[in-house]
Structure 1
Amino acid sequence: MGMRKEFLFILKNFVRMAILMFLVSIVAFFLVSVSPIDPLKVNVGQTALGSMSQEQIEKLSQYWGTSISPVRRYLSWAGDFIRGDMGVSLLYRQPVSRVIGVKLSNSLLMLGISWLISGIVGFSLGILAGANRGKRLDKGISAYALITASTPAFWLALVFLMLFGVWLKILPIGLSVPIGTEAAEVTIRDRILHGILPVLTLSITGISSMILHTREKMLEVMESDYVLFAKARGETGTQIVLGHGIRNILLPALTLQFASISEIIGGSVLVEQVFSYPGIGQAAVTAGLGGDVPLLLGIAVISAAIVFTGNFTANILYGIVDPRIRKARNNI
């Protein structure tokens, strides 16, 4: 019976994911359709377009889909997507799946490291701040979190670019590999050096919410009756934090951490633009500005799937961390 409940839980979440991706694709397509950007003028040029014959313009319109009604274009894309075909990128002249695969592989490691650093460091600093309420350590950590929370990611990226890339010249100023280097000659060191500044930017901007949230939860724990009882028994501050604090705030922290996946992906769009990092964020901007509907829809759906996977993983971990949630789920 328990296995059946778990299967129904997983199935329900997959149905929600399918609905979510469907709605995301509709919204993305609608935004591209109402955009004032003319794909022909942007990608061909006004001067070149004016010197073309009407027949050439009609062929270009058919290629970019501007001569087809938005509803027909979306239904055609949706039918192909259901069959496993994301279409062909109009800008890259390659299958969308291949373009997303290359761009996502460039971004995935950067996003993953940033996500882990912001979660682990934010959780640790939040515990320290909550356990030392009112002290200098708490005030310093809280001030840092509030400042970074109000700092735009693109501004911080520009500061790091000027500081480490232009003035100190100790890190590259952009791209994911050195300019003019063949793929076979790119080393792991090259990729690490080019990824430091984007990772640093995303980690710092994503750490504040985890600090503030964990600090508030830690304050609630430190003011609880069972902590007062533990102090009366003679337990030290470290024992209270390790024995009572982390156990009670881990579940809410997991919730926030997996929910922050969408923020990391959103922040990467601006950060990748600043550092000219050829990832999924920069590809989304290029597709949006160039009217590449198949690529933009593919990126939107894949991004939604990644966010859903994070939320789904959090739901599974809830049951592992807190057996009460697993029991409640089976009783539904």
Structure 2
Amino acid sequence: MPDKPVNLKSLAAHLGLTVGTVSRAMNDYADISVATRQRVQKAAAELGYRPNQNARRLSLGQPETVCYLMPRQTGVTIQPFVAQLLQGLGEALGRRNWDLLVHHAESSQDDLERIDRLVRTGRVGGIVISRPLKNDPRVQLLKDLGCPFVVHGRTAEFADYAWYDVDGEDALVTAVNHLVDLGHRRIAYVGAPLQHQFAQERLNGYNRAVLHNGLTSDPQLIQIANFSDDGGEMAASILLDLPEPPTGIVCVSDTVAFGVLAGIRARGMQPGQDVSVIGYDGLHFGIHANPPLTTMAQPQAHAGRRLGDMLLAIVDGGDPKTHQELQRAHLVRRKTDGPPLQGAVQDNVSEREDIQ
């Protein structure tokens, strides 16, 4: 290793090439032969050359920074979701030496103003948004601005932009089917406000499973709660006060499910024995819940990596409509699901139809 840091000029002198040739070789320009590119990149690695990223960005005219817009729900309940997602997103961007900027808005209008300012001032080369509304004005603004973007989730209409999502409707069908297979017939759902598309999809899945399993459709068993552990605890209290309380509860998220567990324990009951509970997200610290939470898992770190890869592909010229990916969640059984207590299983259980 040389005593002084190697810059582009000294690397070019070492190789007997012009600075321009070395620069183009380092950036994989097609007009530089493969042999020359390999020779330059090999020497750069051996000598410890590190490109000046600011100079490179100026020369390319491209801000190599992606902004992640955090969901507007704040506090500790949202942190595990965001942390796991950002881990994967950072890994994907890091492979291209791109930077990650995280933005939190206090309001919808603040979000729109920040997006407009970031794009028009050239500070970011792409944007990632999470948990979109059914009709999300951020999506239309990004399309109008011509900024590369990808959505973690989907709006009600999602044909003409890039997105990565997990099939929440299918996941809730799986969760309800699992409880039915254990013998439950009185199954409740604790959901989130329905302006979010993901909340609507998960409610649709619950309703579809109730219908196809021949369960009684009881509006009292559906609680649309504040999207937090406190909301889950309050919803559990309402459900357990019913004349005929549920023996199983499926939840819109792990965070809400943690509150449901607390509400069950507050009645001196044991989750998984007196009442079964299934969450949604697969957050790692669900292992440490009391008792460990059964959940429909969606790997957030993997989602972050896919979002980063998709966005960079669009930056490179890819068609956003070809970057749309729907994954399935899978059931992770821990300790909060089990058969209902003896006497809670109803007779004359109808045969479940296959759900396509």
Q: Decide which structure has the larger Cα Rg and report it.
A: 2
Higher RCO (CA 8 Å, separation ≥ 6 residues) = 1
Q: If the length of structure 1 is used for normalisation, what is the TM-score?
A: 0.30
More strand by share: 2
More helix by share: 1
